[in-house]
């Protein structure tokens, strides 16, 4: 018997909570998305009235983009075509809302990452392509692994680099970053997390070569629940990329964290494919010693 696959309202979330993560249950239980104009879409597969599959997605008309945040089918009902059927339903709704593309991101350490990749591939999606690398470990460990840190730091400081904690920077760095991106001098991803509630003004840093010359930035988030500092974005202007300044900034962030909160503090360093040298350093030098290292893969489909 074919399942019935339909979009549902926010109040149905309690009945499908077992098919997604608790944070999504909370966020999708509200009728409108907190960060409007993003629009939430919830699609449920029912077999004889029982929910057996769920997809959660968001779309923004102004960008013409949709994002699949969660897809799951009850274990007992897998490999019956339900996952792909739910995806088709999601795609149909987005197409009707004039959304031109849908994408999703997932960790290669997700227990079912290969099943998810195979499912979206069978629905005609592209990818997966590696988008970000994440390295998690003790800050003390970062410093032990990064043996030439002192030498690189000394050279960078001699060449004029200043690493100013966000809180101490005298100008409005956030506006500067948005302007730099709008003028096409930095990529769009380099502002990710800038306005997050978790933004940490002490360990986020502005990279400058003088009072008014911002050449890069490192965004740090503090996750109080797990007591972890993550560095989701670091960016530096092209002309400085080869000097290792961004790496120096990460190392200095780790050192400052260790100094203030102890060498057992946990940091998560990330880089994107947009900075291939940084990616290679994290992959080759840090990943082998990390507590956890994973890659965020992305998949997408033109609708
Ligand atoms: C990923 C998931 C939703 C797939 O649901 P599903 O209903 O089993 O998928 P389908 O039956 O529609 O699969 C369609 C095709 O995808 C591929 N596929 C799906 N699961 C696969 C697996 N475990 N291994 C290999 N191929 C797989 C196959 O080509 C399959 O066609 P086939 O069965 O005719 O060979 C399901 O495995 C799941 O819920 N996993 C746990 C949750 C999760 O990790 N979600 C992803 C991140 S949010």
Does residue 250 contact residue 242 with C-beta atoms inside 8 Å?
Answer: no
For 248-273, what is the mean pLDDT?
91
What is this structure's pTM? 0.80
**Does the beta carbon of 129 sit less than 6 angstroms from any atom of ligand 1?**
no
Does residue 5 contact residue 89 with C-beta atoms inside 8 Å?
Answer: yes
Say how many Å lie between the CA of residue 134 and the centre of ligand 1.
Answer: 25
**Does the beta carbon of 118 sit less than 6 angstroms from any atom of ligand 1?**
yes
pLDDT tens digits, one per residue of 217-249 = 999 999 998 899 999 889 999 888 878 898 899
For 249-260, what is the mean pLDDT?
92
DSSP string, 234-245: EEE-HHHHTTTH
**Does the beta carbon of 12 sit less than 6 angstroms from any atom of ligand 1?**
no
Q: Quick one: CATH architecture of 4-99? A: 3-Layer(aba) Sandwich (3.40)
Q: Report the share of the chain in percent with pLDDT over 70.
A: 99
**Does the beta carbon of 123 sit less than 6 angstroms from any atom of ligand 1?**
no
pLDDT of residue 46: 97
The pLDDT of residue 34 is above 80 = no
pLDDT of residue 171: 84
What is the CA angle 96-120-292, rounded to 5?
125
pLDDT tens digits, one per residue of 114-131 = 999 999 999 999 989 999
pLDDT tens digits, one per residue of 134-157 = 999 999 888 788 878 889 899 999
Q: CA-to-CA distance for 133 and 85, rounded, in angstroms? A: 31
Which comes out higher in pLDDT, residue 285 or 106? 106
At 205, the pLDDT band (50, 70, 90 cuts) reads very high
pLDDT of residue 107: 93
pLDDT tens digits, one per residue of 2-22 = 799 999 999 999 999 999 998
Which comes out higher in pLDDT, residue 270 or 77? 77
pLDDT of residue 211: 67
Give the pairing of strands 50-60 and 228-236. unpaired
pLDDT tens digits, one per residue of 185-196 = 898 888 888 888
Pick the residue whose CA is nearest to atom 9 on ligand 1.
Answer: 83
What sign does the dihedral 150-275-60-92 (CA atoms) show?
negative
Q: Which residues of the chain form CATH 3.40.630.30?
A: 4-99, 133-297
**Does the beta carbon of 182 sit less than 6 angstroms from any atom of ligand 1?**
no
Q: How far apart, in Å, do the first and last CA atoms of the chain sit?
A: 28
CATH 3.30.413.10 fits 133-297, yes or no: no
Say how many Å lie between the CA of residue 280 and the centre of ligand 1.
Answer: 31
Give the pairing of strands 65-73 and 228-236. unpaired
Say how many Å lie between the CA of residue 88 and the centre of ligand 1.
Answer: 14
Ligand 1 atom closest to the Cα of residue 20 is 48
**Does the beta carbon of 106 sit less than 6 angstroms from any atom of ligand 1?**
yes
Kindly give the residue spans of alpha helices, DSSP state H, lying in 183-244: 238-241
pLDDT tens digits, one per residue of 37-82 = 789 999 999 999 999 999 999 998 777 899 999 999 999 999 999 9
pLDDT of residue 189: 84
Q: Does a cis peptide bond (omega within 30 degrees of 0) precede residue 190?
A: no
What is the CB neighbour count within 10 angstroms for residue 13? 23
Does residue 79 contact residue 43 with C-beta atoms inside 8 Å?
Answer: no
The phi-psi region of residue 94 (left if phi > 0; otherwise alpha if psi is between -120 and 50; otherwise beta) is alpha
């Amino acid at each position: 018997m074919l399942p019935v696959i339909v979009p549902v309202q926010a109040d149905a979330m309690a009945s499908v909570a077992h098919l997604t993560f608790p944070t999504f249950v909370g966020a999708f239980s509200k009728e409108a998305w907190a960060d409007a104009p993003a629009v939430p879409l919830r699609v449920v597969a029912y077999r004889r009235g029982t929910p057996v599959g769920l997809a959660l997605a968001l779309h923004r008309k102004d960008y013409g983009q949709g994002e699949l945040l969660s897809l799951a089918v009850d274990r007992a009902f897998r490999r019956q075509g339900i996952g792909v059927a739910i995806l088709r339903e999601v795609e149909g709704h987005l197409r009707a809302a004039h959304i031109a593309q849908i994408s999703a991101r997932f960790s290669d350490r997700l227990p079912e990452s290969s099943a998810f990749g195979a499912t979206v591939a069978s629905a005609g999606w592209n990818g997966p392509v590696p988008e970000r690398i994440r390295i998690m470990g003790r800050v003390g460990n970062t410093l032990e692994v990064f043996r030439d840190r002192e030498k690189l730091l000394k050279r960078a400081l001699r060449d004029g680099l200043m690493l100013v904690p966000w809180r101490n920077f005298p100008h409005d760095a956030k506006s500067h970053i948005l302007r730099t991106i709008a003028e096409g001098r930095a990529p769009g991803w380099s502002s990710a997390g800038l306005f997050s509630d978790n933004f940490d003004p002490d360990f986020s840093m502005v990279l400058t070569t003088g009072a008014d010359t911002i050449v890069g930035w490192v965004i740090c988030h503090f996750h109080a629940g797990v007591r972890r500092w993550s560095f989701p974005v670091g960016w530096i202007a092209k002309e400085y990329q080869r000097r290792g300044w961004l790496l120096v900034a990460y190392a200095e962030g780790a050192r400052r964290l260790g100094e203030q909160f102890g060498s057992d503090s946990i940091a998560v360093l990330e880089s994107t494919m947009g900075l291939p040298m940084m990616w290679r350093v994290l992959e080759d030098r840090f990943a082998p010693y990390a507590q956890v290292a994973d890659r965020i893969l992305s998949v997408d489909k033109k609708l």
